[in-house]
Amino acid sequence: MNGKIQNEKYGEILYGENFWTGRKSLSVNGVPLNRISKKEFQMPDGGIGTIKGNFLYGACLLINGETVRLTAKIKWYEIVLCLLPFLLVMIWGNTFALCEILPVAGGAIGGAVSAVLSCTGLFFMRSVKPVWAKILIGLAAIAVTFGICCGIGFAFLGALAK
């Protein structure tokens, strides 16, 4: 994931973070900075810049007591949209009357499926800017989660009927 900001004091700051390893990279005005440690970089003026946070929750660069926001903080509606698939599956899958209408795998299996898809939805929501696109991604995560858990529920009932 890459973030690019324009700062009046430091110029163009390019922030990169590897999705799989979490390894961070930083460049100022097109010049890659030397890594001192996992989250510390040698700035062009000789100072040390420390990255706090990450792509999903919001990253900041701390330089000489000054904080530069690299990626936006997670918004409340992104959290709500990520919790909805999990809550829907947990409530539906553990309510007998609802499972008589449409069987949904709840419990550990439904929780695991919904957790993975909620995190995936959050990742994609953080990758786009418009709010309407974030809402569409959240709704898609809900639909896919419910569909997969419903398919697992039907598969369980089919296996028990044999």
When pLDDT is cut at 50, 70 and 90, the band that residue 134 belongs to is: very high
Mean pLDDT of 84-94: 91
**pLDDT reading at 56 higher than 80:** no
pTM, entire model:
0.76
Mean pLDDT of 54-83: 86
* Number of CB atoms found within 10 A of residue 126's CB: 20
Cβ atoms of residues 137 and 128 within 8 Å:
yes
* Number of CB atoms found within 10 A of residue 145's CB: 25
When pLDDT is cut at 50, 70 and 90, the band that residue 76 belongs to is: very high
At 7, phi and psi to the nearest 5? Answer: -115, 135
Backbone torsion region of residue 53, taken as left when φ is above 0, otherwise alpha when ψ lies between -120 and 50, otherwise beta: left
- Give per-residue burial for 87-125: e unless 16+ CB within 10 Å, then b: ebbbebbeeeeebeeebbbbeebbbebbeebbebbbebb
Mean pLDDT of 34-57: 83
The per-residue pLDDT for range 3-44, each reduced to its tens digit, is 777 777 778 888 888 777 778 888 888 888 888 888 888 887
Looking at residue 1, its pLDDT comes to 61
Strand-pair partners of 52: 60
- What percent of the chain is predicted at pLDDT more than 70? 99
